[in-house]
Chain A
């Protein structure tokens, strides 16, 4: 992150460096006495799939809602697609697609009607409307059920329709808030495929999740957020390396303990010294998450 902001500051018109598509600068959001977001800063580059990973109540939804104009930050600046969000809401809204955490389709309308309504709201030209909607329904595999009321849709179908709806106006930036929450494994895979397809078409994606494997396998970069603060940021590989690529796991009286090492030999040596059962394995993102959130909890407790 350090590096990219330095680059960007120095950069002028060079095509090589990816452009910043989203940025938060020291953003805070308070709800009365609750601080939902406490000083978050990060950037998302064009063409990236960026994941915000964090437990429930960490402030992920609030962060997304501030970026997509629905919630105003208490302090701090946000930029999306080159516009400062404050004061350019309409310009920002034109350029973003939003898949919310909670299904907010019109239940009384059919799937197709929901998409038409969205196209009308976004002023998609009449000539393109029908074709785009037909393509999107195919894309998310809902063509055969398009003329049924959304009321009758399963959770997975509704989520796919939400994704299709977010794409009707061809936004260059897509927000997905917990896109696979509560879905069965097959549907979840399908949604992952969709997200990757969209990203391959050049879309910048910001998604939130509390599923670690989702962040690990889908996202180019991950920001770990807890208690409203960004506690780590990097590619999944970088995050794992920051702890040590290898993990020795063993059970003692305090519970499962994990030690991290940068080389396999160090890890093996350490494991051999232990006189209990040990497992040597590669560090995964869950280890990073647990370590960091645990460390943060200890620091908070110490204060």
Chain B
């Protein structure tokens, strides 16, 4: 028993050599505090490529590899229902809702794209972070990595954005099948990109905030579902009750939908709306970052 207890007396340098590390050890001026400390090196190289958020995307892609068809089917379903029921079913009747004689179908398509970006973007990150943090506890493993909070937030926001974009593209394909005359443009795709980043950031923020399953249903019922229906996606904001018309501007989905709609019809971005969506994206991202930093 006693022999085993001898403290391993490897010289401080030995480990360092074995690990191929450049930083060193042993009291030569690197002692914080009064004591004799060893500052042992980690990995010496700090690579700029791949960036620190890359592993999170890498992991996401593993899920895509095994579940791509499932995602495809899931993301197809609700837009299809919206397009068929609102667009082709009630479309003729809903025409009278339209301010300024726009066709309801032209109104609906960017709305459904916005919804796809929003729902899949926000929900995918939110649920993933929720489970990682509270169920599998694997989020600790990310917090233990020498990766800054900014990169972690960015990585997760990007996974949400990518999911949103996948869902948005699926909607576009569906729309093309149903109405082949639709014409797309560059500004519209840029708007999709901006909106998806904004929703990814929202997903991160909610994902970091949730404390329990109850929280998750509260968020669904009180934030996500109202936003889905009230943000000018399926019904013009002008047709909402007056008090709601102002309230819906608290939702980032409102300017995002309008931005998508204006770019799709005019091939040009309304700067005010673009700034609003960008501002939301930045604000949500910084809030998420702050939340993670405080954890």
With contacts A69-B144, A237-B5 known, is A100 near B37, CB below 8 A? no
A95 at the interface (CB under 8 A from B): yes
Q: Which of A78-132 contact B (CB under 8 A)?
A: 79, 81-84, 90-91, 93-96, 98, 100, 102-109, 113, 116-118, 120-125
B136 lies within 8 A of A104 (CB)? yes
A118 lies within 8 A of B141 (CB)? yes
Instruction: Report the minimum CB–CB distance from B24 to chain A (whole Å).
Output: 10
A217 at the interface (CB under 8 A from B): yes
A18 lies within 8 A of B144 (CB)? no
B183 at the interface (CB under 8 A from A): no
Q: How many residues of A are in contact with the other chain, CB < 8 A?
A: 69
With contacts A47-B7, A203-B15 known, is A94 near B146, CB below 8 A? yes
Contact code string B7-38 (vs A, CB < 8 Å = 1, else 0) = 11111101110110000011110111111111
With A and B bound together, what is the CA distance between A83 and B103 in angstroms? 65
Stretch in A9-17, A225-233, A256-264, A268-276 touching the partner: A9-17
B148 at the interface (CB under 8 A from A): yes
**Chain A residues closer than 8 Å to B19, beta-carbon distance:** 170, 172
A35 at the interface (CB under 8 A from B): no
B138 lies within 8 A of A70 (CB)? no
Q: How many A-B residue pairs have CB under 8 A?
A: 172
**Chain A residues closer than 8 Å to B26, beta-carbon distance:** 13, 15, 19
B2 at the interface (CB under 8 A from A): yes
B9 lies within 8 A of A18 (CB)? yes
A208 at the interface (CB under 8 A from B): no
B50 lies within 8 A of A82 (CB)? no
A48 lies within 8 A of B40 (CB)? no
B179 at the interface (CB under 8 A from A): no
Contact of A82 among B4, B31, B141, B142 (CB under 8 A): B31
A217 lies within 8 A of B1 (CB)? yes
Stretch in A137-145, A178-186, A194-202, A293-301 touching the partner: A194-202
With contacts A93-B144, A98-B144, A201-B18 known, is A125 near B43, CB below 8 A? yes
**Chain B residues closer than 8 Å to A102, beta-carbon distance:** 137
B62 lies within 8 A of A109 (CB)? yes
A199 lies within 8 A of B5 (CB)? no
With A and B bound together, what is the CA distance between A19 and B8 in angstroms? 12
A82 lies within 8 A of B15 (CB)? no
Instruction: Report the minimum CB–CB distance from B154 to chain A (whole Å).
Output: 14
**Chain B residues closer than 8 Å to A199, beta-carbon distance:** 8
With A and B bound together, what is the CA distance between A104 and B109 in angstroms? 42
B35 lies within 8 A of A9 (CB)? yes
A79 lies within 8 A of B37 (CB)? yes
Instruction: Report the minimum CB–CB distance from A81 to chain B (whole Å).
Output: 5
Instruction: Report the minimum CB–CB distance from B9 to chain A (whole Å).
Output: 6
A82 lies within 8 A of B32 (CB)? yes
A203: nearest chain-B partner, CB-CB: B15
A171 lies within 8 A of B7 (CB)? no
A13 lies within 8 A of B27 (CB)? yes
**Chain A residues closer than 8 Å to B4, beta-carbon distance:** 217
Contact of A123 among B39, B41, B47, B136 (CB under 8 A): B47
A169 at the interface (CB under 8 A from B): yes
With contacts A94-B146, A201-B18 known, is A123 near B46, CB below 8 A? yes
Instruction: Report the minimum CB–CB distance from A103 to chain B (whole Å).
Output: 8
With A and B bound together, what is the CA distance between A113 and B31 in angstroms? 38
A278 at the interface (CB under 8 A from B): no
Instruction: Report the minimum CB–CB distance from B255 to chain A (whole Å).
Output: 35
With A and B bound together, what is the CA distance between A20 and B40 in angstroms? 11
B33 lies within 8 A of A79 (CB)? yes
A121 lies within 8 A of B11 (CB)? no
A19 lies within 8 A of B12 (CB)? yes
With A and B bound together, what is the CA distance between A245 and B33 in angstroms? 38
Contact code string A55-72 (vs B, CB < 8 Å = 1, else 0) = 000000000000011100
B10 lies within 8 A of A122 (CB)? no
With A and B bound together, what is the CA distance between A91 and B148 in angstroms? 11
Q: Which of B242-260 contact A (CB under 8 A)?
A: none
**Chain A residues closer than 8 Å to B54, beta-carbon distance:** 120
Contact of A84 among B25, B32, B40, B58 (CB under 8 A): B32
B99 at the interface (CB under 8 A from A): no
Contact code string A2-28 (vs B, CB < 8 Å = 1, else 0) = 000100110111010111110100000
**Chain A residues closer than 8 Å to B38, beta-carbon distance:** 19-21, 46, 81-82
With contacts A15-B11, A20-B37, A121-B147 known, is A104 near B141, CB below 8 A? yes
A236 at the interface (CB under 8 A from B): yes
B63 at the interface (CB under 8 A from A): yes
A220 lies within 8 A of B7 (CB)? yes
Can you offer 13 A-B residue contacts whose CB atoms are under 8 A?
A: A5-B35, A18-B9, A23-B37, A79-B35, A82-B31, A91-B146, A94-B43, A108-B66, A120-B58, A121-B145, A123-B46, A169-B43, A235-B5
- A→B interface (CB under 8 Å): 5, 8-9, 11-13, 15, 17-21, 23, 43, 45-48, 68-70, 77, 79, 81-84, 90-91, 93-96, 98, 100, 102-109, 113, 116-118, 120-125, 165, 169-173, 199-203, 217, 220, 235-237
Q: Closest 4 CB pairs between A and B?
A: A94-B42, A82-B39, A120-B55, A121-B145
Given A19-B37, A108-B66, A220-B8: 13 more A-B contacts, CB < 8 Å: A15-B26, A18-B7, A23-B35, A82-B38, A82-B40, A95-B40, A102-B137, A109-B59, A121-B142, A123-B46, A124-B43, A169-B42, A169-B43
